[in-house]
Amino acid sequence: MPKRSSTGDEYQNALRVIEQAIGEPLAAKNPAAVALGRLGGLKGGKARAKNLNQEQRTAIARKAAKTRWKRAKKKPTIETGR
């Protein structure tokens, strides 16, 4: 079985070499887009909660808890081996 390299594939390595040679990143993020995305992320949860009624919030919380417990039950234990 071949070992996996943690340095990425050939294209990523080539991009890294070029960026190091020229001294600046080629794929820079747009600062305006980053700020806009952060702004939406900051108000997203509060805005969603504001638009939901108590029954909807309860149903969402119940579904999330049920999923967490279902996932926890699937973990094998050392004693049983299941």
Rounded to two decimals, the pTM is 0.42
- What token pair was written down for 71? 């996932």
pLDDT of 58 reads 95
Find out whether 76 and 82 touch, Cβ atoms under 8 Å: yes
Tell me the per-residue pLDDT of 7-64, one tens digit each, with 9 for 90 and over.
678 888 888 899 899 988 887 788 898 898 888 888 888 888 899 999 999 999 999 9
Q: How far apart are CA 71 and CA 68, in angstroms?
A: 5
DSSP state of 28: P
Query: What b/e sequence results for 4-35 when a residue is b if at least 16 CB atoms lie within 10 Å of its CB, and e otherwise?
Result: eeeeeeeeeeeeeeeeeeeeeeeeeeeeeeee
Question: Which pLDDT value is given to residue 6?
Answer: 63
Q: What is the pLDDT of residue 73?
A: 73
